[in-house]
């Protein structure tokens, strides 16, 4: 019984996707950006003073106005003063 429970827990843990972090724009300005993650690229935008939940994860590259930023963790990525940081 114990081994079945352990196996079930192991399978559940392995099938849970990596959590993605939020992209927060603290500026009042809207920004267009390109998000590249896992071989796919999305061209999108973020309105001023808004949050896009679950948008970024480690390894994603955000290209905003020619400035590229590689996401290091799965936490919050912030745009402030036109600059991207974690």
pLDDT tens, position by position, 10-65: 444 333 345 689 999 999 999 999 999 988 999 999 999 999 999 999 999 999 99
Query: Is 41 among the domain residues?
Result: yes
Query: Is 33 among the domain residues?
Result: yes
Query: Is 60 among the domain residues?
Result: yes
At residue 76 the predicted structure's pLDDT band, cuts being 50, 70 and 90, is very high
**C-alpha to C-alpha distance for 54 and 74, rounded to whole angstroms:** 9
Rg, the chain, Cα only:
17
**C-alpha to C-alpha distance for 65 and 72, rounded to whole angstroms:** 20
Query: Is 10 among the domain residues?
Result: no
Query: Is 1 among the domain residues?
Result: no
- Note whether 84 and 46 are within 8 A (CB): no
This prediction has a pTM of 0.75
Report angle CA 64, 46, 79 to the nearest 5 degrees.
Answer: 60
- What's the domain count of the chain? 1
Query: Is 56 among the domain residues?
Result: yes
Query: Is 40 among the domain residues?
Result: yes
Query: Is 47 among the domain residues?
Result: yes
- Note whether 58 and 65 are within 8 A (CB): no
Domain holding 59, by residue range, is 19-85
Q: What average pLDDT does the segment 7-12 reach? A: 43
Coil, strand or helix: which one is 28?
A: coil
| pLDDT (0 to 100) of residue 1 | 53
């Amino acid at each position: 019984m114990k081994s079945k429970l352990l196996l079930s827990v192991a399978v559940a843990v392995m099938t849970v996707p990596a959590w993605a972090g939020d992209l927060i724009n603290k500026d009042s300005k809207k920004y267009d950006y390109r998000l590249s993650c896992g071989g796919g690229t999305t061209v999108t935008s973020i309105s001023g003073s808004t949050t896009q939940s679950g948008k970024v994860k480690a390894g994603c590259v955000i290209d905003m106005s020619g400035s590229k930023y590689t996401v290091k963790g799965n936490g919050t990525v912030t745009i402030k003063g036109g600059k991207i940081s974690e």
